[in-house]
């Protein structure tokens, strides 16, 4: 019901100041999508330790659920939060991991291992034909160790708008991204988060493979405003 309410409010264009009146959802819908079993951001911790899979949002401890939802709302706002699905995750038992490392005579890991790894998807924005996914990592108390790869919409509301792949392709054409006329042609549209600017970026590529060469033309767009950020072209040898 809360998801439906948020969708209706978005459709009628409720002013930004009114979003604060929308209640915080008490859960995230679980949707593993076509990549069943795949968890974005899941760490490889070696052959002697396998993290425990988390298949549903409600499999997380209640305190972790609450902290995660509070953090996401404080960053994304309720509208973007309402568009997220829980894809999956993993829980790392840190004492068990240390014991496994000791048995292998490991001198320790040179990066921080967190207790919870979460994979979320923006269900209505497709990147390379699949919902855009981002991983997060939380410590044992639910504090964020690795941030979600989505912009801080509460701080910069204009970044709550993310154009879809069809519009990105249309804009790329307007900016002069031409298709190749012969060869084994291909096209790619990939959405990515640029951490330095806190901005979503569309990369649109058109290319062809001919006579053992791969030719590409690329355009990079601001996924919020549609602004052209750059373009490039290249030729690569694909081998015999």
The pLDDT tens digits for 10-33 are 433 344 444 444 555 678 888 876
Residue-level pLDDT at 5: 44
- Residue 19 to residue 144: CA distance in whole angstroms: 24
pTM for the full predicted model: 0.80
Protein fold of 165-237: Nuclear Transport Factor 2; Chain: A, (3.10.450)
**Cβ proximity of 179 and 186 under 8 Å:** no
Q: In 3-state terms, what secondary structure has residue 102? A: helix
Three-state secondary structure call for residue 238: coil
Poorest-confidence range of 15-24, 44-53, 181-190? 15-24
Percent of the chain with pLDDT over 70: 78
Query: Exposed, middle or buried, 190 (CB in 10 Å: 0-12/13-18/19+)?
Result: middle
pLDDT more than 90, % of the chain: 48
pLDDT given for residue 3 in this prediction: 47
Question: Quick one: which of 114, 117, 113 has its CA closest to 87?
Answer: 117
Distance CA 142, CA 20 (A): 23
pLDDT band at 39 (very low <50, low <70, confident <90, very high): low
DSSP secondary structure letter of residue 138: E
Average pLDDT rounded to a whole number, residues 208-229? 84
Residue 27 burial (10 A CB sphere; 0-12, 13-18, 19+): middle
Domain boundaries, the chain: 2-152, 165-237
Cβ distance 55 to 30 under 8 Å? yes
Residues contacting 130, CB < 8 A, separation 6+: 33, 34, 35
Which pLDDT score is estimated for 130?
Answer: 87
> If we measure between CA atoms, which residue out of 215, 219, 185 comes closest to residue 202?
219
Give the distance, in angstroms, between the CA of residue 74 and the centroid of all CA atoms in the same chain. Answer: 17
More confident: 209 or 38: 209
d(CA 72, CA 80): 9
């Amino acid at each position: 019901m809360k998801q439906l309410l948020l969708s209706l409010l978005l459709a009628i264009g409720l002013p930004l100041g009114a979003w604060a009146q929308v209640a915080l959802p008490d859960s995230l819908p679980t949707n593993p999508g076509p990549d069943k079993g795949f968890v974005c951001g899941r760490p490889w911790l070696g052959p002697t330790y396998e993290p425990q899979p988390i298949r549903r949002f409600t499999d997380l401890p209640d305190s972790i659920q609450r902290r995660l939802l509070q953090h996401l709302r404080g960053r994304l706002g309720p509208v973007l939060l309402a568009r997220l699905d829980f894809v999956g995750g993993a829980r790392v038992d840190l004492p068990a991991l240390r014991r496994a490392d000791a048995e292998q005579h490991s001198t320790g890991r040179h990066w921080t291992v967190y207790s919870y790894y979460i994979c979320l998807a923006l269900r209505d924005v497709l990147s390379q034909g699949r919902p855009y996914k981002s991983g997060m990592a939380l410590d044992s108390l639910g504090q964020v160790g690795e941030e979600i790869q989505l912009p801080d919409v509460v701080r910069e509301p204009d970044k709550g708008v993310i154009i879809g792949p069809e519009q990105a392709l249309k804009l790329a054409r307007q900016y002069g991204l031409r298709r190749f006329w012969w060869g084994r042609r291909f096209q790619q549209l990939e959405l990515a988060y640029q951490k330095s600017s806190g901005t979503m970026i569309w990369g649109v590529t058109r290319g062809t493979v001919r006579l053992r060469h791969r030719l590409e033309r690329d355009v990079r767009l601001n996924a919020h405003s549609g602004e052209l950020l750059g373009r490039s072209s290249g030729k690569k040898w694909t081998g015999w």
